[in-house]
Structure 1
Amino acid sequence: MAESTKPPPPPPLQNQDQPKEIGLPGPVPAGARDPAIDYITSKPYRPSTQRIIIDNVDIKNKCFTVSTDISVFLLDPSLSEIRLNLGQYCLLPKEDLTFDGKVTINGIEVEYERTNMAISGFPENQPKSLENFQNFIENIEAKRRYEYKLVLKIPSSLEIKQGQRVMLHIDTKVVNPKKGIHYVLNYTAEGELDQSSHFYTYKASFESSTHEWLPCFDNFNMLAVFDIIIKLPDTLAAVASGEHTDTIEKGDGTVEYVFRQLVPTSAANIGFTIGVFQQFMHPEMQDVMFLCPIGFLPMLKHTVAHCGRVFEFFEELLSSRFPFSCFHVIFVYNLPDEFVAYSGFSILSVDLLYHKKIIDVVQSTRKQIVNAIASQFFGCFVQPYRYRELWLVRSLARFITFLYIERSFGQCEYTFEFYTAMKEVCDYENRFGKICLSPRTRDDIQESFANSSLAGMTSPKQFDMFVKKGELVLRILHNKLGKESFMKVLHRLIYVATHFGQLQRQQMHWYYLTLTVETFFQTVLNVTGREVPSLIDQWIYGGGHAHLEVHYQVNRKRNIIEVEIKQEAKKGRQIYTGPLTVSVQEIDGSYNHIIQIDKEYVKEDIQCHSKGRNKKKKKVLISVGEEVEIDFSRFDPEATVLWVRIDPEMLLIREVNLSQPLIHHEYTVLYERDVCAQLNAIEVFKQTSTIQTIDVLNEVLANEKLFYQ
């Protein structure tokens, strides 16, 4: 039976007569269908618990055995088979005769087969066009969901009833995996394995790689609770997802590590690491443990010393406790990504560790560690319903990471992060076409190289752009709602997931631990009472960015600024309509003006406030509320406008080409305290520069009070 991927509808609007501070979904109106019921019935079967036993670990030969028991809730009485995900390096009992294993349902041995996807070439009878090729790729991607499926035949002797639970038992042997598990093998001079050797799981694709070593239902919305038992020689140690509940030492030189993940999660959030590690329990957090290879402990202690403040910040920001009972962070060699986040467990690169005398990597290292912690809230706890929502939870994690950056490193560093992200997104769209975060039809992605709905049609670079554009959209929403209201929305998501995650026997309510674009904005409406249709249509369902060509001149007789704004429809762009903020720095201070953009060419007059300049006046009040002393010796004695900024708060996803005299750009770099305006002015210097420009840059470099990167 084909598996439906259509999500249930978003939760109904909360009854206005109910108190909102409870933070739970409101009562379902009469005649409406509970989305949690739609969630539980959207597939013919769902897992509820999974027990995993890892044994016979042979690091040198890169193999181990996995035995798993999965409790499955059957919803279709006509079922004849159950399909699981299984990687090609997981060998079944009849595929490898070197180990004893079984595949059973309720203790009855069953027939099973592996269904590999056969990929054929582009049909010769079809014209070679971009549209036909796209159809061909999408068909392959649709089939890819069934790649390396393990099909268990339900025996006729087993009577199936709706709502029945059955127990699946599968034994496999993982041999020399090429994906999903990475081995670090170091040898001594005698040819023996060095104690620094270890191996760990990682995510080799955007979706998940857990099926590469574990038979499971490897879909984002197939949640379960997990028990993990890892049997090892007593010379090795293990860390895995969940709470470390027990360590059982056997008398035969072996040890069992027991982990329990009681918060419902997807198989994508299950992983482990095995090797020899040194441990460090953070003195401020008894439930947080850090591990590293032998020899790195002093650097580890120094690198993670700040982490106590990170947890405090997020718990205060989200008005919620850390979602898992404990947290393990392990540093390993040769990690293929910046970090890998599993439920209650994160893996980072040992290259991040630094000595206390090193200062130039402090910011970059802290950003990655903070992002790994933030991903526990959004990504591992609040999870995407499908792949197409993965960018949303990743962007939420990155956004609250940037809020910590603002608290720790200052407003300029926070602004610089978004400035960099916006520049990268706009440059990418100019080269490769629009980024549509949530396409509704094929027309929405007609001009795009990527489809955010299909992992197989997305490259790592494209997915990174999805996440960065998502960060920008969340910042726009944050500024539109206000920080307090926006954080109430995030608190609501965490609170609802916390409440329903504790109801382990009411499996249909696990739906509230997942997130879609629709339910996210439904939560925005429920919490704040505000709808943001223009934001959704422009930046979520629509692709591209605004490109504004801005020119102005000062009419001294009328004491106004005549502003012209042009837009041109080109690759990767959209024609923006809506409000645009223009900030004018005058002699008497900084003033913001709103221009309404309703077409491709707009001409608007802005009234100036300054009547004339007192030549003796040296101090000017700038936009940040600070008075700065300005040298007017090189400036026009009759001028009252010092410089202009377009969309100073970055409330749009845009690129701006502002045409103004070079002296205005020079004064922007020297005296403005908005780092984005300064960087934009420096970009102008690359095209047009003078001896005065060089003097300006030298003066900026000599000023220790200015932000730098």
Structure 2
Amino acid sequence: MKTEKSTRPYKLCQQILSLTGINLQRQTLIGYTELHLVPTSDAQFRIISLNCKQCRVYKVVINDNFEAQFQYFDPTLEVCQLDFKKRSAEDFSASHQTALRLVDPDNNAGELKIRIPPEASYLIIKDRPFRVGIEFSLEQPNGGIHFVSPKVDGAPTEKPSQMFTFGWQNSSRLWFPCIDSFAEVCTWKLEFTVDESLTAVSCGDLVEVVYTPDMRRKTFYYSQTVPTAAPNIALAVGPFEVYVDPQMHEVTHFCLPPLLPLLKHVAKYFREALQFYEETLGSRFVYSSYKVVFVDEAYQDISSFASLTIMSVNFLHSYVQIDQTYITRQALANAISQQYFSSFISRQNWNDAWLTFGIADYLGGLYVKKFFGNNEYRYHIMKEMEAVVEYEQKHGGIILDPSQSPSPTVFPGSVPPPKAIENQFHFPLDSVHTVSPEYVEVMRKKAHLIIRMLELRIGYQMLMQVFNKQLSLATAAAKKEFAQDQWSSMLISTEGFTKAIHTVTGKDMAAFIDQWVHVAGHAKFTMKFVFNRKRNTVELELHQDVGLSNSALGTKRYMGPLVVALQELDGTFRHTLQIESNPAKADLTCHSKSRKNKKKKIPLFTGEEVDMDLSAMDPDSPVLWIRMDPDMSLIRSCEVHQPDFQWQYQLKHERDIVAQIEACRALERFPTKQTRLAISEVLINEQAFYRVRTECCFGLAKVTNMLVMSGLPLGPIGVTLTSYFQSLFGSITCKHIIKQNNFDNLQHYFLQKALPVAIATQRTQYNVAPTEVMNFLTNLFKYNDNSKNRFTDAYYRASLLEALGETVSPVATAMIGTQTSSDSLSRETREILEEVSRALNLEKLMPCYKYVITVAALKTVRRLQKNGHLPSKSDLFYSYAEHGQFLDVRLAALECIVQILQSDKKREDMEFLLRIVETDPEAYVRHCLVRMMVRQPPFKSDAGRPSYNQLDSEALVNRLWGLMNSQICNDARLRCDIHDLYVTLYGRRRPSCLHNAPLFSPLFANMPSMKRPASSTFGSRLDFERGIKSEPPQMIMEETLPESTNILDVHSIQQIKQDNISNPNSPAASGMLDGRHSGLEEMYRSQKIKRKKEKKKKSKKHKHKKERADSLERPTTATDGGLSSDSSGPLTPGKGSIDIDDSL
């Protein structure tokens, strides 16, 4: 939301926060906060604006002596007021944007307005601080603070009581009064009084813990001397176990009592990541202490605050887990990187958030590259780029910084600069509280890619120097106490970051920032080429898909350098093309001469030389394969057209795993024996990266299926997936009996999980799984033995259940209305159900880590339902979706119910899901459920086009509208989720099912009166300067007209008639009107002539009724269409007139 320069006439230098009455059972707290404000000029100001939501404010005092009056005004409590009937998503977005601007701290606004009493005005002196003290309380808050309080029923509870704060970006206003802006930093003193058995963890250094005289309560005193913004202050209270890192005493970990052994295992990864960042950035950790708290029912996986990180307890694991280790280590690395760029160096405003997002994730990516390898890092970059491209092509381009348009110097010469694209989304982009959470997630990934692109342009060392300079300036500023003018160095902005790059490197990156930060979209290339034998060149043609078509949504025209790599017989040669037109053509000179059908060692880009069989290549061409943008230096999607033998060479011999995965996916379009052989060679290659080999598992299954469907014999070449699995994991004497599990070789472990799933996707000519596949999977269950394995096999068994689900094919004929029993099921279905039931029963007795087997079993049951083998019922999933089940189990069950709702449209399923959205205590579950419904909506209907669905009703519209309009006003993320769902179901305009709603004036419906002052948009704000209380907005509603009346048409007819009378030479009288009005005029005239003719006929036949007939002929100023007008009120039907539908 806007502002580079704050309009606030004072600066915050220090804040004291004291919470004394924290009660976890009653979910209440009592607090006091004191803000030390320093006026920045001699100008007098009378109003202090603070942010405060859902707090009950009792008293406000200035310097402990002067009690001040205050006014609470929160327009976000109810975005659209005065019984808004239109229910339009567009109007909601506009009203939501206006409401947030009225309380935006960067615009010197807020929910709490404090009037400085006249007797205290002498305290307002430039550079002399004064204090504002506020007494407040919170009772059962529904946002900002989450209480995990088990129900007290006399029985022992598994979950201990705990409390922690959370928020969607800047949401500290939900639990204490503050200036809730990332740009307003200050020092802090924090005091928290809790029960004797509890521990309070907050930001800063723990100064002391003082017990009360009765020893029943204790107070924790924290001091945060590093200037910190209010959104980066947090608190966690609970009966935590404390674990201090034995080698880095400044790092302290907190968890619930039963989880201490798991915490000790995970804690070593923090130490490892901290040391890595200190070495990489050349700077010590920015805080003198660091605390990590693992809580249950976390709002999001990672919540970073100043010297404090609140993480989900689900990241904890023991040494026997393999899969979770990668996830946890990467999450911990991201948590620490956010301490540098998010908590310590904060953003100037929302438009600069891409910098803190991108730099933190970039540093996390460097950790992955260091400890997991370059292949894993490049795979991670590839997945992020695919996610960004997919989102932008579906919804529109993402602008990282929409605050300013690109400069006209982006492209030299006659090429026009890109124009700022209008907002294509259904939500405003100028506030994090209005944008979709999915948009924020993809924006974070795009920001990471932009920072990496910057590294490729200025170099890794130069970029590290830029980061180091930012940290050095911020560290120096943080040491200057009460130097508010120096604290601006702790804020980062797009303009300041660009200047820092120029200062450190001497390179001007303004053009790059304009091209990729201020302009939305990505590049979309299609490349074709032919080899010219006479000139020994490759004639290349690049086409960019840009325009207004659906295929070009989210794309932009890229102009600049583009690298194309040719792998020739004599090595890899890179060519840099300058893209200046569309399509772009270029001739690339080859450095090699063709050698017909000769084996030779081919040098690769890594310097390695490999033997290749060149018999399959074109004898006239020295080109083995071609790649576009091999370094992923652009955000783009590439479609390369080259023959299948070149894809095969690229898959087998390229050393870049991104190129290998691209080749494997491309070869799925060429189902031949040679393709099958090439994929098989990579699959069995022990030197290949495990992600490439798992990709080949599924690629080989798809190619095999297409060969079988086409009736072609597979032949003896290549390997089958089943035989390869048995060769790796089968016993020596009997291959179908699997050896005891041994997961010491991690590559084989991931293959052992992927191969059964890929085998299960194989099909016969009749599109059913072969019988031997089912027997193979059954034997895997039967002979699975993990007794001598030091790792758990839970994820492996879950993959076997997933494989069972993949064997299911749609039934040929669905049995409708028949009773399903075990006898009516097929043998394969019965075997699957037996394995699923056995797994679920065993899980209840001996639950595995994170209940991964239960999750896989539920998905397998749903797949049986989806394909018609079981009746589509939700009863099984209801119990697994209730609160109290493990998080992953709940989400899996909810996803199954959402799928059933999409297919069966049952009202009870919709009611169940909406009840969870409205009342579930876990905010993360509510968020995930709504995102599922957005991805798989039960119906879709655009405005004016009914969906003819039984779920599409006015009651559902009102329920969803009530949720996003007022009921969830304290959870900005969930409110935006509901808004996305509302737009998905009904579009941006008024839902078509609201056909009985009263009609509105086309100009003033659902809008506040234009005569009212702009400061009173919501009709409840008190203007302190004028002393005027605004009246409620006036709305003109045509309530007395019949339902079929079109108000716009009525107004148009009357306006035409009045124009004809007042000005006979007007365009309306001469027929020079737009198509709509001239059509209405013609209809009006023809109906009038017709009525006159009928009246003349009647007057001739009935002369005795002549007087009555004459009385019917009214002057033209009257409404002949059957309506009489009254300037003092709405339009009403005229007496004795015909209906307007008959006249039009």
- TM-score (normalizing by structure 2): 0.56
Out of 66, 70, 74, the position equivalent to 1:116 is: 74
1:122 deviation in Å?
A: 11
Deviations 1:599-637 (A, max 9, x none): 111111111111123745343221222223333343344
Contact 1:195 / 1:276 at 8 angstroms: preserved in 2? Answer: no
Q: CA 1:417 to 1:104, structure 2 compared with 1: closer, same or farther past 3 Å?
A: same
Aligned to 1:333: 296
Deviations 1:256-284 (A, max 9, x none): 11111110010000001000111211122
1:446 aligns with 2:409: no
1:512 deviation in Å?
A: 0.6
Aligned to 2:206: 244
1:121 deviation in Å?
A: 6.1
Structure 2 distance, partners of 1:614, 1:694, is: 24
Task: Look up the SS of the partner of 2:327 in the other structure.
Answer: helix
Q: Which amino acid aligns with 1:145?
A: D
Aligned to 2:314: 351
1:577 deviation in Å?
A: 0.7
Out of 275, 279, 295, the position equivalent to 2:258 is: 295
Task: Look up the SS of the partner of 1:92 in the other structure.
Answer: strand
Q: 583-592 or 158-167, which moves further after superposition?
A: 158-167
1:387 aligns with 2:350: yes
Structure 2 distance, partners of 1:693, 1:615, is: 19
Contact 1:187 / 1:194 at 8 angstroms: preserved in 2? Answer: no
Task: Look up the SS of the partner of 1:200 in the other structure.
Answer: strand
Q: CA 1:404 to 1:471, structure 2 compared with 1: closer, same or farther past 3 Å?
A: same
Task: Look up the SS of the partner of 2:420 in the other structure.
Answer: helix
Aligned to 2:509: 532
Aligned to 2:38: 73
Out of 336, 339, 363, the position equivalent to 1:376 is: 339
Aligned to 2:267: 304
Structure 1 distance, partners of 2:83, 2:359, is: 42
Q: Which amino acid aligns with 1:675?
A: I
1:62 deviation in Å?
A: 0.8
1:607 aligns with 2:589: yes
Task: Look up the SS of the partner of 1:7 in the other structure.
Answer: coil
1:691 deviation in Å?
A: 3.4
Task: Look up the SS of the partner of 1:402 in the other structure.
Answer: helix
Structure 1 distance, partners of 2:668, 2:272, is: 41
Aligned to 2:540: 563
Aligned to 1:161: 125
Aligned to 1:15: none
Deviations 1:104-125 (A, max 9, x none): 1111222112112163369999
Task: Look up the SS of the partner of 2:21 in the other structure.
Answer: strand
Aligned to 1:103: 60
Aligned to 2:689: 707
Structure 2 distance, partners of 1:295, 1:188, is: 20
Q: 67-76 or 252-261, which moves further after superposition?
A: 67-76
1:269 aligns with 2:232: yes
Q: CA 1:702 to 1:630, structure 2 compared with 1: closer, same or farther past 3 Å?
A: same
Aligned to 1:227: 189
Q: CA 1:134 to 1:170, structure 2 compared with 1: closer, same or farther past 3 Å?
A: closer
Structure 2 distance, partners of 1:510, 1:350, is: 35
Q: 451-460 or 462-471, which moves further after superposition?
A: 451-460
Map 1:272-671 to 2 at 5 A.
272-440=235-403, 444-449=420-425, 451-569=428-546, 570-613=552-595, 615-671=597-653
Structure 2 distance, partners of 1:242, 1:474, is: 30
Q: Which amino acid aligns with 1:485?
A: M
1:63 aligns with 2:20: no
Out of 143, 146, 171, the position equivalent to 1:182 is: 146
User: Structure 2: which 5+ residue stretches go unaligned?
Assistant: 406-418, 547-551, 692-1144
Contact 2:501 / 2:507 at 8 angstroms: preserved in 1? Answer: yes
Structure 1 distance, partners of 2:641, 2:477, is: 55
Structure 1 distance, partners of 2:538, 2:195, is: 77
Q: CA 1:351 to 1:640, structure 2 compared with 1: closer, same or farther past 3 Å?
A: same
Q: Which amino acid aligns with 1:418?
A: I
Q: Which amino acid aligns with 2:63?
A: N
1:511 deviation in Å?
A: 0.6
Structure 2 distance, partners of 1:251, 1:6, is: 49
Q: Which amino acid aligns with 1:151?
A: K
Contact 1:437 / 1:452 at 8 angstroms: preserved in 2? Answer: no
Structure 2 distance, partners of 1:193, 1:571, is: 53
Aligned to 1:35: none
Aligned to 1:6: 3
1:143 aligns with 2:109: no
Q: CA 1:149 to 1:134, structure 2 compared with 1: closer, same or farther past 3 Å?
A: closer
Q: Which amino acid aligns with 2:62?
A: I
Higher relative contact order (CA 8 A, sep 6+): 1
Out of 35, 60, 83, the position equivalent to 2:49 is: 83
Q: Which amino acid aligns with 1:233?
A: D
Structure 1 distance, partners of 2:152, 2:45, is: 55
1:84 deviation in Å?
A: 0.8
Structure 1 distance, partners of 2:156, 2:323, is: 37
Contact 1:563 / 1:606 at 8 angstroms: preserved in 2? Answer: yes
Q: Larger % of strand: which?
A: 1
Q: Which amino acid aligns with 2:132?
A: L
1:695 deviation in Å?
A: 3.1
Q: CA 1:234 to 1:172, structure 2 compared with 1: closer, same or farther past 3 Å?
A: same
Contact 2:2 / 2:403 at 8 angstroms: preserved in 1? Answer: no
Deviations 1:428-464 (A, max 9, x none): 1111111111124587241531554322331111011
Q: 342-351 or 554-563, which moves further after superposition?
A: 554-563
Q: Which amino acid aligns with 2:634?
A: L
Structure 1 distance, partners of 2:159, 2:652, is: 56
Structure 2 distance, partners of 1:655, 1:376, is: 33
Structure 2 distance, partners of 1:552, 1:571, is: 26
Contact 2:561 / 2:577 at 8 angstroms: preserved in 1? Answer: yes
Q: 487-496 or 109-118, which moves further after superposition?
A: 109-118
Contact 1:392 / 1:467 at 8 angstroms: preserved in 2? Answer: no
Deviations 1:510-532 (A, max 9, x none): 11100110000110011111102
1:680 deviation in Å?
A: 1.9
Deviations 1:13-32 (A, max 9, x none): xxxxxxxxxxxxxxxxxxxx
Task: Look up the SS of the partner of 1:296 in the other structure.
Answer: helix
Structure 2 distance, partners of 1:245, 1:691, is: 72
Count of residue correspondences: 662
Deviations 1:17-50 (A, max 9, x none): xxxxxxxxxxxxxxxxxxxxxx7xx421221111
Task: Look up the SS of the partner of 2:485 in the other structure.
Answer: helix
Q: Which amino acid aligns with 1:60?
A: Q
Contact 1:87 / 1:148 at 8 angstroms: preserved in 2? Answer: no
Contact 2:51 / 2:103 at 8 angstroms: preserved in 1? Answer: no
1:483 deviation in Å?
A: 0.6
Contact 1:67 / 1:171 at 8 angstroms: preserved in 2? Answer: yes
Structure 2 distance, partners of 1:571, 1:414, is: 29
1:385 deviation in Å?
A: 0.8
Q: Which has the larger radius of gyration?
A: 2
- TM-score (normalizing by structure 1): 0.89
Structure 2 distance, partners of 1:402, 1:331, is: 23
